[in-house]
Amino acid sequence: MEDARSFAIAAHAGQLYGGKPYETHLAAVVQVLDDFGFGEEYCQAGWLHDVVEDTPIELAEIRSLFGDAVAAMVDAVSGIGPTREVRNARIYGGLKACPAAAAVKLADRIANVEAAPAGSEHRARYRREADEFEAVVRPCVPPAMWSRLERALA
């Protein structure tokens, strides 16, 4: 897992998340996955989940370095496209094709919501997207993990 961590930190070098190094967000995603007992491939995907979406690195490199299972999860959660609607549609299609990736996407959403200030536009956007997100993600994740998102959004 250390290889994925190092790779992701290098790939996101110079990027910020809420004014902090991007590593802060990635570590929060991996912590959520670890909190619910997800194993190494999930945690690798957690470190790498934004690499294809936010850096020039291509999925083929992720696949060659980390294997097919990790690459499939990263691909499934990569929101690529010109608008949030298009990016979300790509992710929802990816999660339907690779249900295992739903845990990574939920960990990402939990980390984002927990980091967003109460009353922020970020939280409001996640609430607006909640029904569609729930329809795709909730059937594929542990109930306790889903409950954590609900608590964070409350």
Q: Which residues contact 87 (CB under 8 A, 6 or more apart)?
A: 79, 80, 81
Whole-number pLDDT of residue 82: 96
DSSP 117: P
Whole-number pLDDT of residue 73: 98
- pLDDT tens by residue, the chain, 154 residues: 789 999 999 999 999 999 999 999 999 999 999 999 999 999 999 999 999 999 999 999 999 999 999 999 999 999 999 999 999 999 999 999 999 999 999 999 999 999 999 899 999 999 999 999 999 999 999 999 999 999 999 8
Whole-number pLDDT of residue 74: 98
Whole-number pLDDT of residue 2: 81
Neighbours of 122 (CB within 10 A): 14
Percent helix, percent strand, percent coil in the chain, to nearest 5: 75, 5, 25
CATH assignment of 2-153, given 1.10.443.10, 1.10.3210.10, 3.55.50.30, 3.40.50.10420? 1.10.3210.10
**CA R_g for the chain:** 14
The partner residues of 17 in beta bridges, in order of sequence, read 20
Largest CA distance in the chain: 42
